Structure 1
Amino acid sequence: MSRIDITDINIGLKIDGSPNIGSQQGSCSKGGLENVLELTAVKKKLDLNESPRGEDAENNFQEVDDEEKNKDKEKDVAELKSSGEEKGVEYLVVEDKDVEVAEENEGILWELAIGTPTNIVAHATVDFVTAVLHGKPLGGDNVRVSITRVIQGAAEIPFPIDDEIITVDQAVGTFIAWPKNMLLEVKANSDRVKSRAVKGGKKNGPRKMKKVNDLVSEPEPVAFKLSEEAFGSSDKKCLFKSDISAVCFGGEISGTVICMFINILQENLRKHKMTDMISFVDPAKIGALGCGTPAARSRALALRFKSAKPSQVFLLPYHHTNHWALTVVNPDAQMVYHLDPLKRRIANEEWIEVVNNGIKIYKEDVKRFLKKKINWENLAGVPAQIGTTDCGLFVMLYMREICIDKELKFASKWARRSNLVFDSDDLNEIRSAWAKYFMRQHAS
């Protein structure tokens, strides 16, 4: 499986380096996969919905002359395109040619990992399309999987289902959620719809109107390492095509996208000699879903705070119930700032407990004086998000604004409600910076 080719994504940078995207006031911007295949017609046809098998398949092929074939083709295309336009569905024509067409994710196996990409606990098939599991949204960082082979049966799955399905063994036979960055493709089945030779040396191939998304499978993810200077570790992350599309064309931003942006910010902090002032925490270790118990998340924070320099602040992108917010922590001063793109006060008592306990454990471990109270301040003056799925981009904007201020006056700047805004140009600037970094590091 080849790596993600940047041309597949159609990022579309302008000459000046900014993405070729307009203002995205809404959340459902469309773009990307159009006119994916152009295949040459010949005289035979095969229905993909009833693919012939074995020797009897030869008898199912019917000869048609050019005139009849062209008439049938024009009629079918006109009817299906008309139907697709009425339903708002993109279609393409897959015409006769010596070509392989794989049904969506058919025969593709993935490794499921827990904790680190090398800790494989099972093999599974993955559904990249369905966004809901058991009536609940999966979120942009997760996918629906079905386990096909157990490797570590006693391992606890990232998202237990009530008290019944907790381990890998118990998850066999049902669908469960799994983090995208803990998937690795291991096998692609070659048993696809193939062309067949017939008398006269002519070949038969599939001819059928298919949805674009039914013919485009998720390619191999792009792996990159976290900046150890920024995160305190060099863990590996996996970036999917859907992540890149979300940045460029609109959609839910994943924690992996935010981590890559933090790598960019760290380069700027190093350039301006601000690394002792600001550091970061991996959102995959502190989020509300799939990141362990509140106690485990508090311990992860305490471990990260151990490297704190005097007066250094830590930026914590936090994901909860399909929404991103930013928490800024000064562990030595026991000050915590809450920045929500929806300008809401924090209502999640569990998150407050996780952060407070992280600070307490850190103070005890380094034997420093612990004040009686840990202060939380809601920064209500932050610019509010524009669309319904822009919260991730706005968290990235907040982090950028904090990182370019050498005096770290973000608390006084955003302490009170104001008319400050980030517009579409600001969002496109973030997209452009992210796209340039991605292409510099990974484009082939």
Structure 2
Amino acid sequence: MSCKYIYSHVVRLLNESDTICIEFEDAMFGRPKSIRLLREDIVRFMEIREIGARQILVYMGHLYKELKKKDKADYFSFLDPGNIPTCPIGTDDRDLSQHIADQLEAVCRDSICLIPYNTGYHWILTIVNEDKNMIHLLNSTSNRNRDDTWKTIVTNGVKMYNASKGISKGPGFKILTGNLKQSGSVECGYCVMRYMKEIVDCDDPQLEKMFAGCIKNQYYTQCQYDEVRSEWSEFVYSYVGA
């Protein structure tokens, strides 16, 4: 399903107050979850403007659906980006760390857990690996002024989760630098989608090999963005009129 078709459908047929209800399987987040996708959410996505948690959540729903088709849903888990509030710079928020631990408890199997997080004005992707002893981070820019705050929060959250399982060893943390970047100022959410797609599509996602080295001045192309945008549109269209 082309992005142009969804865009045309929304512009012509949806009013400002109309919504599309997207429902997610309980197993995806360990609880019932649904969202109301607004007309503006779809228009912003189609016009490649800044996006928020709802648009990213929709793409996670697409990935989970594809994983189920391939009998790979047990290899990956997801944390709801709309359920992780932004923490102010320079704070060590224990409540937010406990929130992360609780979500991990709800969804984690022996799986790679994907956690999109918004630092306030920028999306990054955090990956907690299978045995919960390493946390990786992918950032589509070189600006990491908020990474340290998030590093503390997510590391403490994984520590709390591990402690609940009788694991005393704390996780390591590594920022991966061998990933393609964004060339503009608004593409961070789309980059997070690409990172998740590349990880999920890989038969053996060894992150430090996948994103090895340090890539500078190499950016995602419009074609690569359009690939995830088309998948997003297809998923949304399956709920149109539902």
TM-score by length of structure 1 reads: 0.48
Shift of 1:259: 0.9
Partner of 1:387: 184
User: Is 1:377 equivalent to 2:179 in the alignment?
Assistant: no
> What is the rounded CA distance, in whole Å, between the counterparts of 1:415 and 1:232 in structure 2?
32
1:332 and 1:287 map into 2 onto residues whose CA distance is 25
Aligned Cα root-mean-square deviation (Å) = 2.7
1:426 to 204, 209, 224: 224
**Greater CA deviation, 316-325 or 227-236?**
227-236
Say if 2:105 is the partner of 1:308. Answer: no
Name which of 248, 263, 282 aligns with 2:80.
Answer: 282
Alignment partners' CA distance in 2, 1:422 and 1:265: 20
Tell me the distance in 1 between the aligned counterparts of 2:71 and 2:143: 33
Secondary structure in 2 matching 1:305: helix
The answer on 1:19 being equivalent to 2:3 is yes
Look up the SS of the partner of 2:73 in the other structure. Answer: coil
Which residue of the partner structure matches residue 33 of structure 2?
Answer: 235
Query: What is the CA deviation profile of residues 14-62 of structure 1, one whole-angstrom value per residue up to 9, with x for unaligned ones?
Result: xxx33349xxxxxxxxx97xx98xxxxxxxxxxxxxxxxxxxxxxxxxx
- The Cα offsets for residues 83-112 of structure 1, whole Å up to 9 and x where unpaired, read as xxxxxxxxxxxxxxxxxxxxxxxxxxxxxx
Structure 2 residue matching 1:244: 3-state secondary structure: helix
Per the alignment, in what secondary structure is the counterpart of residue 354 of structure 1?
A: helix
Residues 209-235 of structure 1 show CA distances to partners (whole Å, capped at 9, x for unaligned) of xxxxxxx97213322223322222222
Question: 1:331 offset after TM fit, Å?
Answer: 6.5
Gaps of 5+ in 1: 1-16, 22-30, 37-215
Helix, strand or coil at the partner of 1:243: helix
Q: CA deviation at 1:409?
A: 2.3
- CA offsets 1:104-143 (integer angstroms, 9 cap, x no match): xxxxxxxxxxxxxxxxxxxxxxxxxxxxxxxxxxxxxxxx
Matched residue, 1:96: none
Which letter maps to 1:318? Y
Alignment of 1:145-184 (within 5 A): none
Quote the offset at 1:300 in angstroms: 2.2
**Aligned residue among 133, 152, 168 for 1:334:** 133
1:402 and 2:199 correspond? yes
Q: Does 1:268 align with 2:53?
A: no
Alpha-carbon deviation of 1:277? 1.6
Among 158, 161, 164, the alignment partner of 1:359 is 158
Distance 1:270 1:381 in 2: 29
Q: CA deviation at 1:304?
A: 2.4
1:439 and 2:224 aligned = no
* Structure 1 residue 302: Cα displacement: 1.2
Q: Is the 8 A contact 1:230 1:262 kept in 2?
A: no
Amino acid at match of 2:61: N
Greater CA deviation, 346-355 or 388-397? 346-355
SS in 1 for 2:77: strand
Once the two structures are TM-superposed, the CA of residue 401 in structure 1 deviates from its matched residue by 0.5
Q: Equivalents in 2 of 1:422, 1:365: separation in Å?
A: 40
Question: Structure 2: 5+ residue runs without aligned partners?
Answer: none
User: Structure 1 residues 405, 429: closer, same or farther in 2, change over 3 A?
Assistant: same
Query: Structure 1 residue 358: deviation in Å?
Result: 1.0
- Measure, in 1, the Cα distance between the counterparts of 2:147 and 2:135: 14
For 2:121, what is the secondary structure of its paired residue?
coil
Identity %: 25
Contact 2:119 2:146 in 1 (8 A): no
Secondary structure of 1:276's aligned partner: helix
Q: Is the 8 A contact 1:226 1:233 kept in 2?
A: no
- Tell which structure's C-alpha radius of gyration is larger: 1
Matching of residues 13-412 of structure 1 within 5 Å: 17-20=1-4, 218-288=16-86, 294-306=93-105, 307-310=107-110, 312-330=111-129, 332-345=131-144, 347-367=146-166, 369-371=167-169, 373-412=170-209
Per the alignment, do residues 410 and 330 of structure 1 end up closer, same or farther by CA in structure 2, a change over 3 Å counting? closer
Relative to structure 1, the CA distance from residue 346 to residue 309 in structure 2 (aligned partners, 3 Å threshold; closer, same or farther) is farther
Count of matched residue pairs: 234
Q: Alignment partner of 1:441: what SS?
A: coil
How many angstroms apart in 2 are the aligned matches of 1:346 and 1:377? 15
Contact 1:222 1:239 in 2 (8 A): yes
CA distance in 2: counterparts of 1:386 and 1:255, whole angstroms: 21
